[in-house]
Amino acid sequence: MKKTTTKLADGRELIYYDSDESAERGAPDLRGLESVESRPEIRRDAATGDWITVASHRQGRVHLPPADECPLCPSRDARLSEIPAGDYEVTVFENRFPSLSCEAGRCEVVCFTPDHGASFSDLTPARVRLVLDAWADRTERLSSLPGVEQVYCFENRGAEIGVTLAHPHGQIYAFPFATPRTAKMIAAADAHRAATGRNLFEDLLASERADAHRVVLAGEYWTAFVPYAARWPYEVHLYPHRRVPDLTRLTEAERAEFPGIYLELLRRFDRLFVEPGQSAQAFPTPYISAWHQAPRTGGAELALHLELFTIRRTAGKLKFLAGVESGMDAFVNDVMPEVAARRLRGVAS
């Protein structure tokens, strides 16, 4: 992997990741950009202990521009974008409208492909491997920054999820705190260790693999399953068989197997709600794909895993977080996890 680091016109960092060691990425950013005034605040909710980010400057960010004005496409034909090069494989750059600032974390954008009309599931295994290596590289780099407690790599796909740019991309947040969901998992894992002397996530994975009713897909190094108490209508967790804290600790064999497993999962998600006569490409499933990694402190029991879920519960209906979920953080699932697993096994390639 070749890594080329440069600066955008307003001083933000941009990194090109290439599989071709001879790739030249020296094109300068010719835009006359002014820096965006961004002063997010991190506030703690005294009633719950949760950290809340206030980022009012994000109201002015670009929202679903037409394809010929996409800021994530390469700069071509005198149309200048966030990516100065005329082509690229994978790029990462600092978000122009970050939820977190350099004083309190960092936000980055990850572009998976220059193809505006593609989805992650359209990528080749080689490109997915390059993305995985970029995620791991950014995890290592961001984790070393002063004040960063947890690195979170994720993708939002689909207007229903709330994406503001249609180009296939993800994001990386370097939080100055451990997120509330992570804190809950750490507490559960610590309690499990105290009660049993074992690791919660190792036991959880072993139980799912032994029972197999909710296993969707399994390889030599990874297993994907619908969790017993899934919150979302279709939710899959993907674990490496060997417990590691973060992406940087994956072996070459684990990294090599990941692209095929993950691409198959994404393609199955796209086939879940296809009606007769429709193609999966014409009716893509909105989803969130979220990597859970151990924070810098207090996360020794946490295991790296990916959670993939959709808010679509049937072909024409979404799962809204209404009064019970939004008001009380108490999820009600519309689909039995065992049924969801069976359906996901039934739409295999």
- Residues taking part in catalysis: 169
Q: Are 168 and 120 in contact (CB under 8 A)?
A: yes
Q: Are 16 and 35 in contact (CB under 8 A)?
A: no
Residue type, 144: S
Counting other chains too, the contacts that 241-246 makes at CB distance below 8 Å and 24 or more residues apart are 241/205, 243/199, 243/201, 243/202, 243/303, 243/304, 244/303, 244/304, 245/293, 245/294, 245/299, 245/300, 245/302, 245/303, 245/304, 246/139, 246/143, 246/151, 246/293, 246/294, 246/304
Residue type, 212: A
Residue 326: both structure tokens together: 């939004």
The residue assigned the tokens 């593609």 is: 118
- Residue 168: CB atoms within 10 A of its CB come to 22
- Residue 155: CB atoms within 10 A of its CB come to 22
